[in-house]
Structure formats: structure tokens, C-alpha cells
Amino acid sequence: MGVFVFLPLVLPLTALPVAHLAALHLHPRVATRLLSALAAVLAVCSTLCLGLLVVVGTAQLPGNPLPDAWSDPEVREAVPYDEIAGKAAIVALAAVAVSCACAAWRHRRVRRRAQEALAGLPGGELAVLTDEAPYAYALPGPGPTRTGDGAGDREGTGDGTGAAAGGRGRIVVSTGMLACLDDQERDALIAHERAHLAGRHHRFLLTVRLAARANPLLRPLRTAVAYTSERWADEDAARVTGERTVVARAIGKAALVSRGTPAPTLAGFAAPSPGPVPRRVAALLGPAPTAVHWPSVRSAVGLAVWAAAAGTVGSALSSANAMVTLFLVLQAATPF
């Protein structure tokens, strides 16, 4: 195995350029899916690398988790030994497991509590909570298959997405948020949140959040996907309403007063921080991005995509090589 077992820990660095460039130059839908896939593969390889280091690095330590048959002197001599790396890997792998479990548990708890809070409200895709605090977000999960009366029905697009979104979850909005917007802006808000539900954006957000917990080098991808998923919903809302300026105005207003979502893995209408909001507004005030667009290899974003792809493939191959090598060494030295 040698140094190859350590490569998956640092190869996520190859995805850092594309995390920035993809959000600027690729269609938001393509960027969200690409960055989420890269983060997932790199995180799995990184975690697998830690697991292999735990086995390899602790092979000669007292109380190691290997079977008794693997403690023969021949096996211990055949297995690479690095006590420092093994002990560090134990701590790192335990930290990754605890961190990911906490993030997944919090996501599930917030969704469950939010769904319980909506249990007493009338059925329908749109759930309006009486609350002076302004917020709006998409709550995934089981929901009604048909939209109810009111603002949700006014958002019918004629393309079938309205009824479909109702079965994927509910749109939660406070009276405080609705009071800040006019009728056109409310329609833009509903269309935006409906796009989050239809695109299952919470899955992408949860994926990159868990990936960043598995390897801190993937945090830029988490930030990028949080932005591109909102841009994806922005463009869908602009397409449905036919008013890019109205969507931009609604986002700007909501950003000034919004308090965000109950969990980072739930998609919201506008983040309270000023960071990506001006970029989203500026993008909506410009022309719509090309639906199908893949950058040239000679462009900066094209090179970044290929660099990230090469790093991901290298990480996967390094992990596979380490696993196969470890298995063959132990199989040759141990009577199974």
C-alpha cells in the first residue's frame, strides 16, 4: 500500500478550484449535482482510508481488533506498521463517525419536529405559521398529494410540478415573511420553495454536509452547493413566474429580514447573511443561464472540472488498491 493509502485524505484539495468556478460558470442544476457527487465519492474514499489505517496501523498494538489468527509473527511482519498513524486514525475515524451521526440525527430531529408542528394545520402544500419572525423553507417528507386552496393553488404552472411537489413535502412560511412581500413576490417565494421540493435539494445539502464532516477539506464544496441549490431554485422560480426581476426583488427583501432555516440541510428562501444574496440577485437581473452547457477543456472551469475528476478517480483507485493489497497480504499470511 505504501503512501497510496494516505492519498484519499488529501486528494479533496483537487476539488477546491471547481467548487468556486462551477458555481459561477455552470448551470446551477449541473453544478449542484456535480459538486455533490464529487463530495460524496471523496468523502467515502477518505473515510475508507481512515478505516484501513486503523487496521494497518494497529496490527502490532496490544488489543488490536484483528482476529487472533492475524497476530502470528508472519502476519505482523507482512502488514505495514505505523503506530503513530494507526493511533491518529483511530481518533480521526471516531471523530468522523460521531460528527456525521450528530449531523444526521439533527437533520432527522428537525424534520420530525417541524412535521409535528404542522400536524394541526389544514392540509395543503402551503403551510402558513402565525409568527412575526419572517422565514420560509421547504420541508421534505410525506405530504398531501394535492395542493390546497390559497396561494399554493395560484402557483399552478401547468407543467405538472405543482401537484408533484405536494407529495414530496410542504412549503413552510410565516405570516411575518408574507407581510414583507407583495402578491407577485409571494408567488415567487412559493415557486422557489416548490423548486426545492421538486429537485430534492435537501438531499444534496445533507450529502455535502456529511462529506464536510468526514473530511474538512470538502467544506468549500458544502458552501458551493448551498449556493448553487438556491440558484437552481431561483432559476426555476423565474422560469415559472416569467419575472426574473420580481424573483430578484423578493430574494432581496427576504434576505434583509429572514432568520434562515431551522437546519442547514433544509433549503430556505433567503439566507440572513449577505454573502451569496447579492450574487443571486445579480444573476437573476442578467440573462438566464444556458440549460445545457459544458465548459471547454481549455477554459478555467473546464480544467478545474477535469482536475477534480482526476482527483476523485485517483482517490477511488488509491482506496481500492489499499483494500486489495491488504486483503491479499492477510490472505497469503493467514490460514482462513
Q: Give the model's pLDDT for residue 74.
A: 59
| Residue range 47-75: mean pLDDT, rounded | 68
For residues 154 and 125, the model is more confident at 125
**Residue corresponding to grid cell 410540478:** 161
pLDDT mean across residues, the chain: 80
Contact 84, 133 (CB under 8 A): no
Contact 108, 141 (CB under 8 A): no
In this predicted structure, which of 84-93, 212-221, 246-255 has the lowest mean pLDDT?
Answer: 84-93
CA distance 275 to 239: 24
| Mean pLDDT comparison of 129-143, 165-179, 226-240, highest-scoring range | 226-240
Maximum distance among all Cα pairs of the chain, rounded to whole angstroms: 77
Contact 312, 11 (CB under 8 A): yes
CA distance 138 to 195: 9
Q: Give the model's pLDDT for residue 325.
A: 74
Q: What is the DSSP letter of 321?
A: H
Q: Residue 14: count other Cβ atoms within 10 Å of its Cβ.
A: 21
Burial class (CB in 10 A: 0-12, 13-18, 19+), 87: middle
Q: Give the model's pLDDT for residue 166.
A: 42
Q: What are phi and psi of 262, to 5 degrees?
A: -70, -15
CA distance 311 to 334: 34
**Residue corresponding to grid cell 496501523:** 57
CA dihedral over 233, 239, 245, 250, signed as positive or negative: negative
Q: Give the model's pLDDT for residue 100.
A: 94
pLDDT digits (tens, 9 = 90+) for 239-274: 999 999 999 999 888 888 877 677 777 777 766 555
The closest of 284, 292, 290 to 188, measured between CA atoms, is 284
| 143 DSSP β-pair partners | none
Q: Give the model's pLDDT for residue 75.
A: 57
Q: Find the domain containing 67 and state its range.
A: 2-333
Above 70 in pLDDT, residue 89?
A: yes
Q: Give the model's pLDDT for residue 306.
A: 84
Contact 161, 125 (CB under 8 A): no
For residues 283 and 154, the model is more confident at 283
pLDDT digits (tens, 9 = 90+) for 145-196: 343 343 334 333 333 344 334 457 888 888 988 998 899 999 999 999 999 9
Q: Give the model's pLDDT for residue 78.
A: 58
Q: Give the model's pLDDT for residue 219.
A: 93
Total domain count, the chain: 1
**Residue 312 to residues 12, 19, 111, 317, 320: CA-CA distances in angstroms?**
7, 14, 32, 9, 12
Q: Give the model's pLDDT for residue 255.
A: 82
Q: Give the model's pLDDT for residue 309.
A: 86
- Which residues lie closer than 8 Å to 251 by C-beta, 6 or more apart? 192, 234, 269, 270, 277, 280, 281, 284
CA distance 163 to 146: 5
CA distance 140 to 115: 9
Task: Tell me whether strands 126-129 and 136-140 are parallel, antiparallel or unpaired.
Answer: unpaired
| Residue range 23-37: mean pLDDT, rounded | 90
What's CA 39's distance to the chain center, in Å?
8
**What percent of the chain lies above the pLDDT cut of 90?**
30
Contact 266, 109 (CB under 8 A): no
- pLDDT grade for 97, boundaries at 50, 70 and 90: very high
